[in-house]
Structure 1
């Protein structure tokens, strides 16, 4: 048996942390002396603690780790492999985001050294006035928090694609997201995911035709706020006003794109001439 101090030293985890892990049910001492309350861990528990440390190094939360430790042994390795692959994809996405951020910073520094405004990139965002045609869309509408968006997009679009395949519907275009909330709320936003189809069936509605201010943006989704700002400014300056919820069309498939700068998104603001 190992004292809590010895166990702490070997695993490089503080005794305070070990006591907290015990409280939340992550790993319990193998034995507690009833007379003095001293905690002891078995040699076998070293492997479990190292496993916990390894998952922590992969940026799993303690709650996620606790769930993994409670899995049934049947197909444990298979489930763990799938979970690690999912985490790997998330980390790769974050890495690409950081790489893009560094590239942006370098570009801004170079522009500033040349006396060019850091926000001059807004001038490159073009706006055009277009008449859209009506389209039938298969949709699902959800309240999503800011943390839910990345996973939510894949989940709900996948469900729509599955419905199209199951019911043998005719897909007519690329995915669309419509934002219905009047203001941004990190706790939850009214978001509609849609796919344009030919048939009128249960779960479809018409996305009406109309006049729209439109921008085509090539770059990461994180920069779409700049497009929204540019469209809003253009609408004000040209004497128009919004009449319906803005929406985005995703021209490129993000699962097939490795460089965020290659993503292409069309942003539409339904408008009318201000009276």
Structure 2
């Protein structure tokens, strides 16, 4: 920076790496006032000391303070005033951090499901496989079931319940059937609706899922034809020396939440198995 007594708006813009528009706006709102104004042409000039306010403004901006708030800081407020302003900003940022975490978790989990479904469809993954399910706690609601998949998956009652306990859902919807045989025969009347929540739940609000081996198979397409995949699991288990438990889980990777094209639905069927 050239050592001068005064600097023009253009020079301030170049030296401090801010736009001329910003310099003029700071002047307009009284954030940085010129140290010299020419009477004949109203040109504004700033001394070196005033230029040093720009890095401070940038740092306050980095912390999220508004320009109006910065004015009182630059004017030389008391430590008590500064402490109060910074404490309020910390509280606001913590609240923003919490909201961003919720949004990020929701978007990331949904993005992962879209990628999973895309790979399943592109590679036509329909084989049965045995895998271990990590134990987790899922929020749940017991409900009547009438084979209306759309209303069960995009569930108003469950959404209202989650809101009532001041939480938010993320990840795939899951349905637990007490008996997969009754489910295949169209006789299931009660289910457990399961889903992960972003915030921790109370002990009585969750049910344990996983911690065991399952026979898993993806079903591609409408839910009305899902019995074919159940039968595939049963036949595979019998042929490979596995015994299926009664309970089954349907994990809706993509469904009505993502698309109304049922041909693009991807559902993972899981049945707990043990060696016979």
**TM-score, structure 2 as length reference:** 0.48
Q: Please tell me whether Structure 1 or Structure 2 has the larger radius of gyration of its CA atoms.
A: 2
